[in-house]
Amino acid sequence: ESEEACGETGRDKASHCFCPKQASEEDSCQPGKTKTAVTMTTSQQPQDRYKAVWIIFFMLGLGTLLPWNFFMTATQYFTNRLDQSQNVSSFAVKLDGDIQASAVPTAPPLERSSLSVIFNNVMTLCAMLPLLLFTCLNSFLHQRIPQAVRILGSLLAILLVFLITAVLVKVPVDALPFFVITMVKIMLINSFGAILQGSLFGLAGLLPASYTTPIMSGQGLAGIFASVAMICAIASGSELAKSAFGYFITACGVIVLTIICYLGLPRLEFYRYYQQLKLEGSGEQETKLDLISKGEEPRAGKEESGVSAPSSQPTNKSHSIRAILKNILVPALSVCFIFTITIGVFPAVTAEVKSSIAGSSAWENYFIPVSCFLTFNVFDWLGRSLTAISMWPGKDSLWLPSLVLARLVFVPLLLLCNVYPRQHLPVFFEHDAWFIIFMAAFAFSNGYLASLCMCFGPKKVKPAEAETAGAIMAFFLCLGLALGAVVSFLFRAIV
């Protein structure tokens, strides 16, 4: 009870106030002595020198989504590799029959293979289903596997996948084995990425609430970094295979840097201070209340739920999940619908759009990396960043679900762009400018509305129920990703 009293006082007086065990034993957190205890605790808090811990959490946030973004942005390399394997095999068969017909055979025009056509859809499905599964399993894994093993193990596994990918750039592989190997790698990086993300938000839960910001910033910039890396690889002027090799080696370098940052984290006094608070069994409740009161990152609850203080367990058991779900049903379904639409067309449909003005110019190589991936990631990040300034519409406003449903208009708009190959729908928005405008609005609305929903969900319930609400919101987010991966097959077939 004394810890809960301190937590309530800490929330009222200061966002970063903690009540260490030794202080609570000394004065039992009496109301008359609360100010003294808070003052003593604040004076003992070390400073984050040179923002080192902030930078490390930024790098860790970057490392959670960087692998998936690197694979997604490199679709041009994967599809070209599949097309070349298909055409080389067909060309060799044709040469056997026509070798005497011509002394100097000419290569046939590049044709899309069946594996290349379905690559983006299958890639999205293989990414989102493991993400949903391991997000749900993470609440069980963190109780049985130590934190360092989960974080370091996931990073090392992701590094190994990228090393194998870089090596395979130089190794000739037939189309079907290459397709299967690529999908297995995508499933692995998203499985380990889900474990890494859940563990990271739990780790951030030990620190003040402001330290969830670098994680979100790192995740938001992961897509931009991957897009810029691909553009630089293309700008190098090398062949696509050589550019892809440098591209994947760059990813390996970033993952190695992330591992080094994590290994250096326990050496920092600022981090050790909050880690010690956890070991003493104090301050943890205040940290969770701090997160809940600020509403910055509800997903931290996924990790903390298994290590919360014993005094909170009876309260958590009394919470009715059905009652909480009823309160947050609108934002939960909204965030699910947002990502169903987003993943339904991006990148499965949008990465298949062809430039109508490039011709034989260099813009043809830059069109998808710039117009599709860079545009989406930049405007998605801007949309998420805007929620720090504006929170319109409010959490109870009918405008929020209305705007979420209005995003459905982007499906026909993007399907009617210059997607190739196509069999059914006509091309209505052929010019590149239309596609770029649609992508910018599509991405901005995704980032802004999704952030609003994730923020409003926990705010629609009592503070003690916010942790459970956050976990439910995270589940619906991942459910939307998985549903979007399934729907993407339908959207691509319509074209």
Which of these, 469, 455, 137, 477, lies nearest to 320 by C-alpha position? 469
The HSE-up count of residue 420 (CA atoms within 13 Å, CB side) is 9
- Tokens standing for residue 111: 């044709």
- d(CA 360, CA 363) in angstroms, rounded, equals 8
**What is the number of other CB atoms lying within 10 angstroms of the CB of residue 269?**
12
What number of other Cβ atoms are within 10 A of residue 366's Cβ?
Answer: 17
Nearest CA among 142, 184, 162, 173 for reference residue 63: 162
User: Which pLDDT score is estimated for 23?
Assistant: 39
| Token pair for 57 | 């959490």
pLDDT of residue 224: 92
What whole-number distance in Å separates Cα of residue 312 and Cα of residue 272?
A: 24
CA nearest to 286, candidates 9, 57, 23 = 9
Q: What pLDDT does residue 300 have?
A: 41
Residue 417: φ, ψ to 5°: -80, 180
Task: State the amino acid at position 96 in one-letter form.
Answer: D
**How far apart are the C-alpha atoms of 274 and 168, rounded to whole Å?**
43
Report whether 112 contacts 421 (CB < 8 A): yes
- Measured between alpha carbons, how far is 197 from 349 in angstroms, rounded to an integer? 27
Element (H, E) at 344: helix 329-345
Number of H helices, E strands in the chain: 22, 0
d(CA 13, CA 318): 28
DSSP category for residue 310: G
Report all structural domains of the chain as residue ranges with CATH numbers, in order of start.
Answer: 49-87+116-279 (1.20.1250.20), 319-494 (1.20.1250.20)
How is residue 122 written in tokens?
A: 């299958």
Strands, E assignment, 242-327:
none
Beta bridge partners of 417: 429
Q: Spell out the per-residue pLDDT of the chain, length 495, in tens.
A: 344 444 433 433 333 333 333 333 444 444 444 444 443 344 567 887 888 888 998 898 888 888 888 988 888 889 888 888 655 544 344 434 444 444 444 444 456 788 888 898 899 889 988 988 887 887 677 668 888 888 999 999 999 999 999 999 999 999 999 999 999 999 999 999 888 887 887 777 677 766 766 877 788 888 898 899 889 888 887 777 788 888 899 999 999 999 999 999 888 888 888 877 766 654 444 444 444 344 444 444 444 444 444 444 444 444 477 888 888 899 999 999 999 999 999 988 999 999 999 888 889 889 999 999 999 999 998 988 888 788 888 888 899 999 999 999 999 999 999 998 888 899 999 999 999 999 999 999 998 998 888 878 878 888 777 767 777 887 888 889 889 989 999 999 998
What residues contact residue 182 under an 8 Å CB cut-off, 6+ apart?
78, 123
Residue in this structure with the two tokens 């809960």, named with its chain if needed: 4
Strand partners, 419: 353
**pTM of the predicted model, to two decimals?**
0.70
- For CA atoms 193, 197, 199, 204, the dihedral sign is positive
* Token pair in block for residue 310: 């014993």
Q: Are 188 and 260 in contact, with CB atoms under 8 Å apart?
A: no
Radius of gyration of the chain (CA): 25
Q: How far apart are CA 189 and CA 207, in angstroms?
A: 27
